[in-house]
Amino acid sequence: MSTSVFPLPPSSAALDEEAARAELYGLLAQLYYAAPGAALLSALRGAPTGAPQAGDCLQEPWQQLVDAARALSDAAIAQEFAHLFGGVGKPALYLYGSHYLSGFLNEKPLARLRGDLDRMGLARAEAIPETEDHIACLCEAMRYLIAGDDPAVCTLGAQRNFFTTHLQPWVRPLCDALQAHPLAHFYCALARFTRAFMAVETQGFEMFDGA
pLDDT per residue as tens digits for the range 3-26? 344 444 333 434 588 888 999 999
Please check the confidence at residue 184 and state whether its pLDDT lies above 80.
Answer: yes
Quick one: pLDDT at residue 121? 87
Distances, alpha carbon 128 to alpha carbons 35, 40, 111, 188, in Å: 15, 20, 17, 25
Please check the confidence at residue 43 and state whether its pLDDT lies above 90.
Answer: yes
Name the nearest CA neighbour of 197 among 54, 67, 12.
54
CA distance 147 to 165: 20
Quick one: pLDDT at residue 133? 95
The maximal CA–CA distance of the chain, rounded, in angstroms, is 48
What mean pLDDT value characterizes the chain? 87
Quick one: pLDDT at residue 9? 39
Quick one: pLDDT at residue 50? 61
